[in-house]
Copies of this chain bind each other. A is one copy, B any other.
Amino acid sequence: MNISDVSRVSGLPAKTIRYYEDIGLVCPARGDNGYRDFSAQDAHKLSFLGRARSLGFSIEECRTLLSLYEDRDRASADVKAVAAEHLERIADKIEELQALKSTLETLVTRCHGDNRPDCPILEGLAGREGMPG
């Protein structure tokens, strides 16, 4: 498989696949012409990476998951630990964003949004008036 084939199969851009090779996530074979020659396993690995990335795992987490995936003797507890920690970070991020959202909503709601120059949003940012949160 050439890179465009594996790109179509895995859903990852060719650029990304080359980058993944650069950082050692995949090691496709090379043909005589220097072209990368991807096996079905390479394609599978890349699909795995694509799914893990789309779930928000970092590249380093993906590297860990991939090595766990390829280690037939690993304990599922190891995988669960990686995922659970990631889950916690997601939950934290959601909470943080919800706090931001409610602060901004308060500011936006208070702003009359017309042609007059006085604006509670800017006043809030300037720190003169009480900011919620």
Contacts and interface: CB of A to CB of B under 8 A. Distances in A.
Interface residues of A, number: 59
B45 A132 contact: yes
Contacts of A55: 100, 103-104, 125
A76 interface: yes
Q: Copy number in this complex?
A: 2
B125 A65 contact: yes
A65 B97 CA distance: 20
B132 A41 contact: yes
Contacts of A115: 75-77
A111 B76 contact: yes
Interface in A66-114: 68-70, 72-77, 79-81, 83-84, 86-87, 90-91, 93-94, 97-98, 100-101, 103-105, 107-108, 111-114
Q: Is the interface of A mostly helix, strand, loop or mixed?
A: helix
Interface stretch (A17-25, A30-38, A116-124): A116-124
Interface of A: 41, 44-45, 47-48, 51-52, 55-56, 65, 68-70, 72-77, 79-81, 83-84, 86-87, 90-91, 93-94, 97-98, 100-101, 103-105, 107-108, 111-122, 124-127, 129, 131-133
